[in-house]
Amino acid sequence: MARGLFVLGALGLAASASAAPADPTVFDASQYGLGDWGGARKDLFDKGYDFTLEYVGEAASNLNGGYNDDRTARYSDQFALGVKMDLDKILGWHGADFRFTVTERSGRNIGNDRISDPRAGMFSSPQEVWGRGQTWRLTQMWYRQRFIDDKLDIKFGRFGPGEDFNSFPCDFQNLAFCGSQVGNWVGGIWYNWPVSQWAARVKWNFNSEFYAQVGAFNQNPSNLETGNGFKLNGSGTKGTIFPVEVVWSPNVNGLAGEYRLGYYYSTAKADDVRDDINGDQQAVTGQPFKSHGSKHGWWVVAQQQLTSHNGDASRGLSVFANATVHDKATNFIDNYQQVGLVYKGLFDGRPKDDIGVGIARIHVNDDARKRAELINTLSGINDYDNPAFVPVQDTEYDAEIYYGFHVTNWLTVRPNLQYIKHPGGVDEVENALVAGLKVQSKF
């Protein structure tokens, strides 16, 4: 909690909001909380070294409802220490760059024992920064090279698929509106930040608005373990996940948009959600689950700015939508949808502030739901309060509204309210109202 107090205390040092740098290749000391280091930082930047320390802290409190309505507050956070190296400046390698990032996560999540039934868990999370082991990790270690006037872009090393595929911003605090959504619903094969794995990605830029890309990511569940944050060998590998995606980024009347359509295929074996090795219902026979030789799914992402504010395209209303569909034979979550909007610079006195609203739906595979019902029938237990009862999960709905205070170019604070209907898809759990506070900073 002391970390959160340190960053919140920085509010007292913050100056009024000013414009963020339009060109990332131009050094701007205002984007760093620690400034220019007496000129040393700009000197390093000009030589090709961009060092950053980023901090995200998220507090949440259960105001009403949930599995346990005993009010409390929880705090989770993440440090990310890294460097981006422009190898053209450093070594004279045209079109080449390298990135190295180490992260550390710690804290607790309000969703585990207050919002959701611990027997079932929660699909989303009121604190997206929590998860994937509260530990240090090697999150990025990759090299990128561009060829043919930057049309061909090749990247390889250690990173996660969400950096390039099914990418989405992470300004909301609820996980259902943050980052690559595929990784949230097939997390056993698609490892989102901060987990990394050996990977390669090849992109072809057809023009300034359209590109296609394909990737190959080592699928190794041991990378998820707390003690393996810096594991580099391939022991424990189960297969490879291959994502493909096309991305269109039109500019309509000076307003930016981005549209993504993608598909993933995993070569690792995956258990059936219902059937055993003989094709009978596993809940009845108790035999091992039927094994499938692959797993697959697809996604679509749409983001579009609709209006400018008094002719200023850096302000205005934008809308977004996400949807993912997954293999019904092997995946517990078979589909997910999300829609929302963000308005940046609504008030003339706060031109960098933003307001966001989102609604998401997370649906359980019908076969998985029916399996839970069958287990309860076979055991003769129909009382939800019986510890041996298996909660029947169907659909969880998540909603969030936030206001983002752009305090400085290096600090944004986003208080938010979240409403979770049927946490974990369990109808017996009372709908929950959660108050949150997200701090994003860069030093």
Beta bridge partners of 435: 61, 417
Q: In the chain, pLDDT over 70 holds for what percent of residues? A: 95
Quick: pLDDT tens for 21-32.
346 778 999 999
Quick: pLDDT tens for 329-349.
999 999 999 999 999 999 999
Q: 296 pLDDT band (50/70/90 cuts)?
A: very high
Q: Tell me what pLDDT residue 23 has.
A: 67
Quick: pLDDT tens for 414-440.
999 999 999 999 999 999 999 999 999
Quick: pLDDT tens for 205-219.
999 999 999 999 999
Q: Tell me what pLDDT residue 2 has.
A: 38
Quick: pLDDT tens for 355-377.
999 999 999 999 999 999 999 99
| Domain 2-442 coded CATH 3.90.25.10 | no
